[in-house]
Amino acid sequence: MSSDEQEYWFRARRYGWGWGLPITWQGWTVLGLWVGALILGRRYLIPHNMFAHLAFAFAMVFLLLSICYKKGAPPGWRFGNRD
């Protein structure tokens, strides 16, 4: 791999817009840590405050989307293989 090529952590979805499952160990690590933080945050940080729960969830989703946008394949609408 040359220095100009970038290794993507998340592949582009085959259908639709966005990213699919991770394709490198770095992507799997990010996804695992994100899921763990989401579960622990819901359980221990914000058990009884609905506003805090929603703010935390939106912040976590924004964080994951930011990482996918930076380290994933370029997003765009895809409609599978057109042969």
In the chain, where the domains are located? 24-73
Mean pLDDT of the region 1-14: 72
Q: Is the pLDDT of residue 83 over 70?
A: no
State the pLDDT confidence band at 53, using cuts at 50, 70 and 90. Answer: confident
Q: Is the pLDDT of residue 2 over 50?
A: no
Are 33 and 18 contacting, i.e. CB atoms less than 8 angstroms apart? no
* pTM of the full structure: 0.79
For residue 39, the one-letter residue type is I
Nearest to 48 by CA among 36, 59, 56: 56
pLDDT tens-digit readout, 19-48: 989 999 999 999 999 999 999 888 877 667
CA distance 12 to 68: 10
More confident of the two residues 49 and 70: 70
| DSSP type of residue 82 | -
Are 20 and 14 contacting, i.e. CB atoms less than 8 angstroms apart? yes
State the pLDDT confidence band at 81, using cuts at 50, 70 and 90. Answer: low
